[in-house]
Every structure is written in structure tokens, then in C-alpha cells.
A and B are shown apart, each in its own frame.
Chain A
């Protein structure tokens, strides 16, 4: 009873601080909006209309047909036509084009000879996304009349895109973005909320009262749990409104998964707060954790391409598990029970960090 009263007192105080701290308050709403616009519009991995130049040294009907097919694919936009291969090289060096297409004089002859590439693609390989897009061009079927037409059915593979038929990257990015934003804000807010009291000298008074470590910790994180859920709502709404990101699973599962993830981040934030002395250190440690989270979790780069060590590290990061969870729920319509390993991982992370924080937090100054 008394414990509950103390907990509520801490909680209410925290809400007062929050309501009066315009910067933090602004960050609660500002960060999600900024990020969703940034990732949704600017950072787009659908590669379309690479700037290209062609050096058509064959000048035949066939070579012109190739060019128009390239343009029809929408992957390349041919803006320049030059004479020599060296011109393409120069344009690439100057950064005027992303791809150069060199059609040699014996193009028609080469086509009929199996094994020899008929066309050369000069690619700015410094950007791996452009490189892989250009690679995909090499698989483009090109039918020319001197050969019997290939029937489409004879193709070896057919890719069927299940969950994102229009292949829009925003659909893929937005659910993960929930996790990224929560990682960024939740860890930092709680770490700072405790350390601020230490720095401001308030903690010396607070630990000299009957309030227990657990009451203090719980009272401090509950307001942030609510803020986290508000952020989730904001992102899901903006995602649906701006990018038509679907919620194929149930909303309840989205919130439950988020709640679990918020809890593990708050636990981590509290643990960080017991390790550092100043707000600046708290923010440093948060970023120390944030970077691998964003890079290794599978949010930005596919998990499959990573070396084994990176994968092991990734398995220890809550964002990895949350990205799997939330993509499963929002895009594939899975439910929590189907994704139990991720649920378990998050739960474990929360108990571990929260336990460590409560154990490490002594009501003492040393």
C-alpha cells in the first residue's frame, strides 16, 4: 500500500518533469516523424532510372532494339550517347553517369556466338546497390529474330513476391523503424532520467528516503512505457497514411510486441544509468549500443549477408528480435505465438537488464 503510494509519487513527479521539459517532449513526437519521413521518402532502396550513357559502335537495328528494351525496363535512363568506350569511362569518372553501356561493332556477330558477352556494362561499383542492380540487368532476356523465340515458361526460376507485391521499400522499412525509433528514444530517455537526478544532486535526497530501488525504477519507467506506445501508434498511423504500410496481423499483437520491446529497452536504459555518472556519458553509451543495433539487426542490411560473428552479436540485440517480430506481424500477418523464440528472447533481455539495474542500484553514493 505504502509502496504503491511511493511508486505513484515517483511516477507523478516524472510526468511533471516530462511535461515541463519541452525538448524531451518535442523529441517524443519529433523523432518518429522525422525518421519516418527520412526513411520513407529519402532512403529508398528501390533502384530506378540509373543515369546511363550508351556508346553504340554497332549502329544496327538490333543494337537500337537493345537500347529501347533497356529503357523500357525502367532500370536505366539513357541520357547521353557517345562514340567511344573511353568517353563512357570519362563520364563515369566525372560522376555524370552511374552506368555506361558499350555496344561493340561486332555486336550482332557476338550475339550469335555463345559464351562471349555481347555488351559491356561499365558500372560505378563504389555503390553496392547500383552494382547489384546492374548485375541484375545481365539476366535480362533479349530476344532477337535470328534465334527461335524463347517461351516464357521455359525460364528456370520464377520469383513470386508474396508480402510486398509492389516491391516498395517503405513497406519493408516502416515496421523496423518502430524498433529503431524506440531503441533510440527509450534507452536514452530512461538512462538520462536517472542520471539527471544523480547529476542534479536529487538522488542524494531520494536515496535517503524510505523509497526502495524497485519502486524508484518502476516509477521512473512507467511513464516512458506509455510514451513508447504513443510513438508506436504514431509510426503505425503515419506508415499507413503516407506509405500504405499494412497491418496484416492484429493490432493487439503489434502493441504486445512493442510493449515487450519497450520494456527491454527501458531495462537497458536503467542498467546504463547505473554504470555512468553524467548525462553525457549516458548518451554516449546509448549510441555505443544504438549503432550496432541499427546496422546488425537486419533493419538496414539483410541478415543473410553477414559474417557469423556479426550474427552472434546481432542475436544479443533486442532490435534484431523485434524487427523479426514486427515484420512478421505487420507484413506476414503472423501472430505472437508463431514467433515465440523472438518473444522469449525479448523477455529474457528485459529480465536480465532490469534485474541487473535493480541489483546494481544501491541506495548509496559509493
Chain B
């Protein structure tokens, strides 16, 4: 479906995408996870031929990219990170325009537009100008436009940023409906709950693929163990534990703290407990199952530290 081989893109000295190797199988939702500027958008643009790779190449739906990008264009739907339909045109005008651009006409054009309007609940918004839509309505319109021509592959760049949880859930239901009809979807996101719903995931960091696999696999093979610490003095706990080089990350969640301890430590709970009691802090420590967010924190921690210092 999608195969990237050593895909690399530089902007001046900056390597936005660095020797990326990727396999996206057919009929799945494939997620792209990564901090800001990690190269998600750039990768998507490389895959649809909008940017030329500095090195490497990709094969998408059987077409070499960038050489055969034009052949690819009618088979893919692309939803840009930034809303890119026309604000001064009505919902229905935007859809008609995109449909005609993709060569739909006559009764087929009408039925497809009716279908997507129903599917993405756009009927009540038909006559509204796109600039007047709310964030979630805009995203629905953009997805409707991207799927009008029933593409085999959908590339969605952060389709649910600035969308409320309920709308996000609806949006993902719509994605799974498309997958059931045989569409392959590549989607970038910053939301862990969304990432968890993907069949497979790739985590990018500074242009490098740092982890990929099914969410459960990633959680199972995580390079750390997770201890939660419940205490009255979380600030002090933070200070104490961050001195330990075996402790990879500490995240506060209310009065609880989530502590990621290196796998090299055989008994993580004891290690945390002894460090705290040594300083006279009473805390309730217990080991829990790692989450996808823990995976994300661990695999991207080097660049996060780099950013913190820089």
C-alpha cells in the first residue's frame, strides 16, 4: 500500500524527515504520532508528491513517488493540517467544486454529495459559508471533501485538532466506516486516545522513526516500568526522584505522580519507595501497566530533554 525507503527531506541544514522506512498495509488505520516539528506533515507531503524527497523514494498504491505523483492524485484524498477549503464559498459550493475537480458529474455527482453530506451530518449546514463553520464542522466538511471521490488512500493531517471529544469520537467512527469499505487511512495526531485506536502506529521524533507497531505491541515492549506515587508532597517527590538517572520521567496527575523507571531496575517499586522514605516522605507506591503515553514519553524523551535545555 505505502512503502517508504530511506525517505529523507532536508530544509537547509534541518533534516525534517530522516531515512524513514515505512510499511503501511491495506485496509488499516495507520497513525503518525510525534511532537511538534517531528516531521509528520512533511512525511505526508512527501508521500503524496507535494514535496520532493532529498533522498530515498516511496511507492504508494503501486506508483513511484514523486515520479508518478500525478497518477496518484485521483486515487488519494488529502486533508491538510490547515483548513484549505474556501471560506467565502458555501458548504455545498465547496463540495460541488471539489467533486467536479475530481471528474464527478451528473447523477453521480449528486448522489455522492448527498451521501457525504449525510455521512458527515452536513445537511443542516448546506447553505452556510465555510468560514462561518465551527472547528468541528469544518473538519467534517474537509473530510467529506477528501472522500467525495472515494479514494483508496486517505491522508489526514491532524484532522481532529481543535475538536471536542464527542466530535472526535464521531469523526473516528466515520473513519472506521471508511476502512470497512476498504479505504486505507494514514492519520497524524497528538491525541493518545486516537493513537490507541489505530491498527498500527509510527512514532516520529526529529524526523526519525523511533517506534512502530500495533499500540498493544508498543505498550508491551516498552523499555521501562511504571510506578504511581501517591503522596502529600508531590513537589518534593519530584525533586528527589529526578536526581535518579534510572528514572526516565515523572508526570504529575493531581496528587499522584506517574514515574517511569528504566527496565534495568529489577524492583522499581522498592527503588522509588526507598528513595522517598530515606527523605522522610510517606508515599503509596505501586506498579501499573504502561500506557501509550508512557511509550510516547520514553521514545521521544531525548529530544524532549534537548528542547528543555535548548
Instruction: List residues of chain A with CB under 8 Å of any chain B CB.
Output: 2, 5-6, 8-10, 12-13, 16-17, 20-21, 200-211, 363-366
Contact = CB atoms under 8 A, between A and B. Distances in A.
B51 A13 contact: no
Contacts of A201: 80, 82-84
Contacts of B83: 201
The 3 lowest CB-CB distance pairs between A and B, nearest first, are: A9-B100, A205-B84, A201-B82
Contacts of A363: 49-50, 69-70
Nearest to B74: A210
B191 interface: no
Contacts of B69: 363
B84 A209 contact: no
Nearest to A212: B70
Interface of B: 45, 48-52, 69-70, 73-74, 76, 78, 80, 82-89, 93, 97-98, 100-103, 105
Contact of A364 (B51, B74, B86, B105): B51
30 contacts: A5-B100, A5-B105, A6-B100, A6-B101, A6-B103, A8-B100, A9-B97, A10-B101, A20-B88, A21-B88, A201-B83, A202-B84, A204-B82, A204-B84, A207-B50, A208-B50, A208-B76, A208-B78, A209-B73, A209-B101, A209-B102, A210-B70, A210-B101, A210-B102, A211-B101, A363-B50, A364-B50, A365-B50, A365-B51, A366-B51
A207 B51 CA distance: 11
Which of A9, A12, A201, A207 has most chain B Cβ within 10 Å? A9
Given A209-B101, A363-B70, 20 more contacts: A5-B103, A5-B105, A6-B100, A8-B100, A9-B101, A13-B86, A13-B89, A13-B93, A13-B97, A16-B88, A17-B89, A200-B84, A201-B80, A201-B84, A205-B84, A205-B85, A208-B73, A209-B74, A210-B73, A210-B103
A16 B89 contact: yes
A205 B52 CA distance: 17
Given A5-B103, A208-B78, A202 B50 contact: no
A353 to B, nearest CB: 25
A131 to B, nearest CB: 53
Nearest to A21: B88
B86 A202 contact: yes
A210 B49 CA distance: 13
A347 to B, nearest CB: 30
B95 to A, nearest CB: 12
A16 B85 CA distance: 14
Nearest to A16: B89
Contacts of A211: 101
Contacts of A12: 97
Contacts of B101: 6, 9-10, 206, 209-211
Contacts of B97: 9, 12-13
Contacts of B89: 13, 16-17
Which of B51, B70, B84 has most chain A Cβ within 10 Å? B84
A286 B218 CA distance: 56
A201 B100 CA distance: 20
A52 to B, nearest CB: 59
Contact of A204 (B73, B74, B80, B100): B80
Contacts of B84: 200-205
Contacts of A17: 86, 88-89
A15 to B, nearest CB: 11
Contacts of A200: 84, 87
Contacts of B102: 209-210
A363 B102 CA distance: 16
A177 B155 CA distance: 51
Contacts of B70: 210, 363
B149 to A, nearest CB: 9
Contacts of A366: 51-52
A207 B50 CA distance: 8
A208 B78 CA distance: 7
Contacts of A20: 88
Contacts of A16: 88-89, 93
A21 B80 CA distance: 25
A10 B89 CA distance: 13
A5 B108 CA distance: 14
A205 B50 contact: no
A365 B100 contact: no
B52 A2 contact: no
